[in-house]
Amino acid sequence: MAQAKRIGILTSGGDCAGLNAVIRAVVFRAVHSYGWEVIGIKRGTLGLMVSPPDAVPLTLDMFHGEVLRMGGTLIGTTNRGNPFDFALADGSRVDRSEEIYAGYRELGLDGLIVVGGDGSFQITRRLEQEGGLNVVCIPKTIDNDVPGTENAVGYITAVNVTTEALDRLQTTAASHSRIMILEVMGRDAGHIALASGVAGGADIILIPEIPFTIDSLARKIEDIDTEWARDFALVVAAEGCTAEDGRRFTIADTDGQARYGGIGHYLADRLSTATGWETRFTILGHVQRGGRPSTTDRVIGAAYGVHAVDLISRGDFSRVVVWQNRQVTDLPLEQVAGVSRNVEIDGPVMRTARGLGISFGDD
C-alpha cells in the first residue's frame, strides 16, 4: 500500500481544450487508485505566491458532470506567472520564487504536477533546481512545439477548429472568386497551419520555419488560374511568420511576451496588388483555444494524467510525460525545458503537403 500523499496540480501558460480531462485523470488516479489528496492550485504559479495559497482540494464528486467535456481549465491559468522575473504594477520586476517555495511548503505537497508548455517547463526546471520542488510535467499547447512528444494536449482540437474554418472559407471563396487568407496561431512553429492546411485544402501554407516571398505566392496564384483553371484560392498563415523585409507581425508586448497579429492583413494587401485578385483575411485567434476538447485531446489528456500520478507514486520526479509511437512514456525535464520543436522540414506532413502541390512561398 502506497504511503498517503498530498499532491498539487496547476495549469500554466495559455489555456487550451483538454486541460480538464488532464485534471480529472490526475484526481481519479490519485484519489481512487492511491487514496491520496489532490490540491488544485489556482491561476498557475500565482496561486502559490500568496499566503495562504490560493488552492482548493479536488475531489472525485467535482468531476461527476460536464467537466470532462468543458474547454478551459477548472483551476485557471496565467501566462504572466514567471516568479523569477515577475512584473509589478509599477513596471518594476522582482524575484518571487521564495514565495513559491513557501506556498509549496505551506500546502505540505509531496509532489506537483505542472501542466504547461515550453515557457512553464523552463520555470519549473528552475523551481526544482533552486527550490527543491518535486515536479512532474504534462505538455499542453495548441502550438504543439514541445519536443519529444507527438502531441501536446490542445493541439488536435485547435487543428480541428482551424480545419473547419478553412472548410467554411472555401465555400465563400468559391462563390466570390476570391483569395481567402486565414491567420492562425503558432508563434515559433507552424504545426497548426501545416496540418490544417493539408486537411482543409489550402493552396498556400506559410509557417515561421520557411521564409516566403510575395513573388513566389503570386506565381502560385497565377498557376491556380492557368494550370488548375480555378478562380479562388485558400491561404493559411501562422501568426509567427516573418515578412520578406524581416518584419515580424507583433501588435503588443505583454509582460515581456510578444503578441502576434497582422500577417493576414499584410498578405491580403500584397496579394491583391500582386495578382489583381480580390482578397479577404480572417484572424481566427483565441477561437482555436476554446470549446469542447476533441476525442484525441481527451484520451491523451487522460493518459498523461494517469501516467504523471504513477510517476509520483514511484518517486520518479523531474520527468515530462510524452506520447511517442502510440505509447505514453516520459523524458527528463532537463532534456525538454527550453527547447522548441519546429516543423520537420523533411517530415511526413511536409512531404505530403509538397506532394499535393501546396506552396510554401519558397520557390
Residue 187 in the binding site for ligand F6P (CB under 6 A): yes
The piece of 99-107, 141-149, 316-324, 351-359 that touches ligand F6P (CB under 6 A) is 141-149
| H-run or E-run covering 184 | strand 179-184
**Which lies closer to ligand F6P via its Cβ, residue 16 or residue 31?**
16
**Which lies closer to ligand F6P via its Cβ, residue 16 or residue 308?**
16
- DSSP state letter for 43: T
Q: Given candidates 8, 10, 11, 14, which one binds ligand F6P under the rule CB under 6 A?
A: 14
87: left (phi over 0), alpha (psi -120 to 50) or beta: beta
The piece of 48-56, 89-97, 184-192, 333-341 that touches ligand F6P (CB under 6 A) is 184-192
Binding mask 236-255 for ligand F6P (x = CB under 6 A): ---x----------------
Instruction: Identify whether the C-beta of residue 104 lies closer than 8 Å to the C-beta of residue 48.
Output: yes
- In a 10 Å sphere around its CB, with 0-12 CB exposed, 13-18 middle and 19+ buried, how is residue 89 labelled? exposed
Residue 209 in the binding site for ligand F6P (CB under 6 A): no
Cell digits for 34?
A: 492511491
Q: Given candidates 34, 212, 232, 260, which one binds ligand F6P under the rule CB under 6 A?
A: 260
Active site residue 225: no
The piece of 2-10, 36-44, 183-191, 272-280 that touches ligand F6P (CB under 6 A) is 183-191
CA–CA separation, 194 vs 199, rounded Å?
Answer: 9
Instruction: Identify whether the C-beta of residue 54 lies closer than 8 Å to the C-beta of residue 86.
Output: no
Residue 208 in the binding site for ligand F6P (CB under 6 A): no
Q: Given candidates 72, 79, 106, 174, which one binds ligand F6P under the rule CB under 6 A?
A: 79
**Minimum distance between the CB of residue 37 and ligand F6P, rounded to whole angstroms?**
31
- The sign of the dihedral angle between the CA atoms of 34, 40, 46, 51 is negative
Backbone angles phi, psi at 260, to 5 degrees: -100, 155
Cell digits for 277?
A: 485578385
Strand intervals (E) in 92-164? 93-94, 111-116, 135-139
CA–CA separation, 42 vs 361, rounded Å?
Answer: 44
Catalytic residue among 15, 90, 110, 143: 143
CA–CA separation, 7 vs 288, rounded Å?
Answer: 31
For residue 258, the cross-strand partners are 253
In 3D space, the residue among 164, 196, 120 whose CA is nearest the CA of residue 287 turns out to be 164
Residue 259 in the binding site for ligand F6P (CB under 6 A): yes
* Position of minimal CB gap to ligand F6P: 185
**Which lies closer to ligand F6P via its Cβ, residue 163 or residue 313?**
163
Instruction: Identify whether the C-beta of residue 293 lies closer than 8 Å to the C-beta of residue 158.
Output: no
Binding mask 102-121 for ligand F6P (x = CB under 6 A): ---------------x----
The piece of 66-74, 87-95, 181-189, 195-203 that touches ligand F6P (CB under 6 A) is 181-189
Residue 146 in the binding site for ligand F6P (CB under 6 A): no
Q: Given candidates 186, 197, 293, 361, which one binds ligand F6P under the rule CB under 6 A?
A: 186
Active site residues: 143
Give residues in contact with ligand F6P (CB under 6 A): 14, 79, 117, 141-143, 185-187, 239, 259-260, 289
